[in-house]
Amino acid sequence: MTTKASTRKATWTPEKPESTAARIERQIKEAVLNGKLKPGEVLGSENELAAQFGVSRLPIREALNRLSALGIIEIRTGAGGGARIAEAADPSAAIEALALQFQLAGVTVDEVFVAQYTLETAAIPLAATLATNEELDEIEAAIDRAEAAVKGGERFTRASLNVHQLMVDAAHNHVLSAVMQAVTAILYRALVKGTNEQTARGVVKYHRQVLQALRQRDPEAVRQAVIPHLERVRRHTNELLRSEG
């Protein structure tokens, strides 16, 4: 039995042609992700890279500038200068860009709250077993700073979010810490609207409750403290935003 071949033509999505600079940027990124380029490894000068890629210096400079802005490479001038893979990459630029992309993509505040909930309920209980005593002391000092700012909405909100960040950082997971930074960059503007002295004092009380559970090295007690607080904050903020229209 034979079947009649379909005469329907496939629909292909046209792709934008890749510029030379974009191709060079992509290849260097892939080499970093594949582990072929290590932190501190020298890429070379613009002239050397132009020779390696068989292009002029202009697309090399454009690609290097993009990579430098992302914190992937360092560009040094003078004798022995040139481009090299960053040894201690600072993800702050990429995190800021990610937060801006979330905003431009129309990510809702509630979506960010869900992300925060998922992240913190996983990371902070981990910190109960992984945090050092020095990190717990740093968290306590951050809580003290937040408590000193309970009468200042903006100052308190920033100080409070810093406590959350330190608690996540204490889980010793770079990915969770980076995502948390992007999440808090968006949450700040929503949270600051509903912050007053009363709510601030309640948040400080919560922070101290979590810190106590962290010092007791009790992940379940941490989880039981984190979950209801995050649910209350999400509900309160969403109600406030709806009332504002």
Q: What is the pLDDT of residue 216?
A: 97
Q: If you average pLDDT over residues 62-68, what whole number do you get?
A: 93
Q: What is the pLDDT of residue 194?
A: 79
Pick the CATH number of 92-243 from 3.40.50.300, 2.60.40.10, 1.20.120.530, 3.30.420.40: 1.20.120.530
- List, for residues 150-208, the tens digit of each pLDDT value: 998 899 999 999 999 999 999 999 999 989 998 988 888 888 887 889 989 999 999 99
Which long-range contacts link 214-221 to residues 24+ away (Cβ below 8 Å)? 214/124, 214/127, 214/128, 214/131, 214/136, 214/139, 214/167, 214/170, 215/136, 216/128, 217/128, 217/129, 218/128, 219/125, 219/126, 219/128, 219/129, 220/125, 221/128
Structure tokens that stand for 125 in this block? 């209980």
Pick the CATH number of 20-85 from 1.10.10.10, 3.40.50.720, 3.40.50.300, 2.40.10.10: 1.10.10.10
In sequence order, the β-bridge partners of residue 26 are none
Distance CA 79, CA 97 (A): 33
- List, for residues 1-24, the tens digit of each pLDDT value: 444 544 555 566 565 678 999 999
In the chain, which residues fall in CATH 1.10.10.10?
A: 20-85
Please state the pTM of the whole predicted model: 0.74
In the chain, which residues fall in CATH 1.20.120.530?
A: 92-243
